[in-house]
Amino acid sequence: MHDIKQIRTEPEKFKLAWEQRGVADAGAVVAKVLSLDEKRRAGLAEVEELKRARNEASAQVAKLKREGSDASELIAETRNAGEKISTLDAAGRELDEALQSELLQLPNLAAADVQIGADENDNVEISKFGTPRQFDFEPKEHGELGTALDILDAERAAKISGARFYALKGDGAKLERALINFMLDQHTAHGFTEIFPPFLVRSDCMTGTGQLPKFGEDAYHISEDDLWLVPTAEVPITNLHREELLDESTLPIYYCAYSACFRREGGSAGKDTRGIVRVHQFNKVELVKFCKPQDSNQELETLRERAENILQLLELPYRTVSLCTGDLGFSAAKTYDLEVWFPAQNTYREISSCSNFQDFQARRSGIRYRPQSENGKPGKPEFVHTLNGSGLAVGRTWAAIMENYQNADGSISIPTVLRPYLGGLEKITAR
């Protein structure tokens, strides 16, 4: 969420930034926000003036009563002033709600070094790792491979839950579990504290990280309890420190977490909906950081390196792209996407997004820290910067291993770093 004082001070900056983020009629949006703010502040000023006049009148009433004089007219004035104050307070609350509603719908501003562009076609490739394997046979898609090996069952999963769900079995399930444990072990070895969070969160948690109110239709909601199935562990982990004032000495804070993720994933049928690349339930290992504002740019770079390291250890070809303004997620100021190579589709597909949200989520969630001033005394509280990244999306990693490590006979070789997690298993074969 944004500081209304900044919008008031630099309206053209916000107008231009939101235009670059694809906000329709950004000028009208800024004008509406400023109009609501002006009416709200005018109402507050009127209330303060009425309270001042009422206090003066009340003092005069007391004086007249001490003197034995008639104070009925002044008493009526104070009563009328009180009624006006109540009416204005109610109107002020409505204006506050309307202003907050508008601000909650508006995306973060892009960082200054983000490429201006309309969509994914304007993203900038930063680097590549590995060379896509040249097969001496026609590579198959992971869904076909998994079904043939009897380790992936989408048909029975659909019988249980409907389309875009899947079940893993045997060595397929073990590979999924191995990936989760491998990723968590790697991240905790690099200073991240492991968290096992709830998979159901309250609405204010979803609002804090930016899923609500704009993207509620993309998530699963249990209305009776007002709880949401997590779309990513980013939500519960970021909200661990909601409405907290952190000590500067505790920063930076690094967390990693496994969670199941639940998303409606609307869209037409096609290549995105084949296999397990775009489904309603999937597993993910998430990385979340809290840091001081001056450190967040560098923290994004090291966060990206952590996610990239998993792909490097698995020896999966991937590329890193910096998202342009038109392709940024709602809450992000800057994002790197890691895209892993899928040989059967002859393309790179996203497997991780690493984002710096700056103070956007912290403002919505009330997460601040108290810096130490130069003389050692506590300073004025400031909002932390938050970051998060997938480290990695487990299902997509599973699929990428299936496709990149497939053999001509349909078997799947196991990446060397995963073999200890699978009891030394070197290859998945048909049984």
Structure tokens that stand for 55 in this block: 């206090």
Angstrom distance (rounded) from CA 139 to CA 229:
36
Residue 263 a catalytic site member: yes
Exactly one of 21, 263, 306, 349 is catalytic; name it.
Answer: 263
With vertex at residue 184, the alpha carbon angle to CA 178 and CA 185, rounded to the nearest 5 degrees, is: 85
* Contact between 127 and 331 (Cβ < 8 Å): no
- Please tell me whether residue 379 adopts helix, strand or coil conformation: coil
- Catalytic residue, chosen from 40, 278, 304, 364, is 278
Active-site annotation holds for 202: no
Smallest Cα–Cα separation from 388: which of 367, 363, 358, 365?
358
Give the number of residues written for the chain.
431
Cα–Cα distance measured from residue 117 to residue 129, given in angstroms and rounded to the nearest whole number: 25
Dihedral pair phi/psi, residue 66, rounded to 5°: -65, -35
For the record, the structure tokens of 351 come out as 């497997």
Catalytic one among 350, 370, 382, 411? 350
40 is catalytic: no
Does the annotation mark 368 as catalytic?
Answer: no
> Whole-angstrom Cα distance, residue 239 to residue 227?
14
Q: To 10 degrees, what angle do helices 171-188 and 394-404 make?
A: 120
State yes or no: is 353 an active-site residue. yes
Distances (CA, A) of 409 to 245, 427, 429: 58, 11, 9
Give catalytic residue positions. 263, 278, 350, 353, 396
